[in-house]
Chain A
């Protein structure tokens, strides 16, 4: 079945550092790919998405590119802030699926 594997955390960074969270997937066909973010005490929010190969999703300084050749959707941000401290989830949705399959989540802590 479809699955997502993402980099284990926790990740601790200083402000203005570069952030990368790796995500790879296994799926049949051409799934849609997502990054969700969960701030402390809140639900998950969609951060960005990509629906086909070579698409780049971007939002709030975060970017991720759908790479079919490497089945990856790595999340990057060039300069993190304390407010980026959260849990980040990579997820995929199959072509005819009604559900999202989530990775295990990566906890990111940014220190001032």
Chain B
């Protein structure tokens, strides 16, 4: 009965590869997010979708592309991975006015 689930939990890959992280929420929320947490625990929003429409697109390299096939899913695809992409990526969801619910994160390591 996990509310926000993301897969995989760990992802180790080499520079230059393309990878995807998937996220699903079963809370009935209409807004979903991707956050990046660096090694110093700093959290930065990357993208947000509301009812499958992109509403927040912070300064993120265009190698990162979110895809929202429906309100319950928001995937993150990353092309040409770089060492600096190593981080923990968190998916979250909310409805307007409600607090964010976070997934448990995907630890991406680029070697």
**A residues apposed to B, CB below 8 Å:** 34, 36, 38, 41-46, 49, 87, 89, 98-100, 102, 104-105, 107
Q: How far is the CB of A97 from chain B (nearest CB, A)?
A: 9
Encoded as 1 (CB less than 8 Å from any A CB) or 0, chain B from 82 to 111 comes to: 000000001010101001111111000000
Complex Cα spacing A17 to B28, Å: 40
Q: Are A104 and B42 in contact (CB under 8 A)?
A: yes
By secondary structure, the B interface counts as: strand
Partner of B48, one of A38, A99, A104: A99
Complex Cα spacing A87 to B88, Å: 14
Q: Are A43 and B48 in contact (CB under 8 A)?
A: no
On chain B, the residues within 8 Å of A36 by CB distance are 102
Number of A-B contacts (CB under 8 A): 46
By secondary structure, the A interface counts as: strand
Q: How large, as a class, is the contact surface on chain B?
A: 20 to 34
Q: How far is the CB of B38 from chain A (nearest CB, A)?
A: 10
Q: Are A46 and B99 in contact (CB under 8 A)?
A: yes
A98-B41 contact, Cβ under 8 Å, with A42-B104, A43-B90, A43-B103: no
Q: Are A104 and B41 in contact (CB under 8 A)?
A: yes
Complex Cα spacing A35 to B40, Å: 18
Q: How far is the CB of A34 from chain B (nearest CB, A)?
A: 6
Complex Cα spacing A105 to B42, Å: 7
Encoded as 1 (CB less than 8 Å from any A CB) or 0, chain B from 26 to 44 comes to: 0000010100000011110
Q: Closest chain B residue to A87 by CB distance?
A: B41
Given contacts A44-B43, A46-B101, 14 further A-B contacts (CB under 8 A): A42-B105, A43-B102, A43-B103, A43-B105, A44-B90, A46-B100, A89-B43, A98-B96, A99-B33, A100-B100, A104-B40, A104-B41, A104-B42, A105-B42
On chain A, the residues within 8 Å of B31 by CB distance are 98
Complex Cα spacing A48 to B69, Å: 32
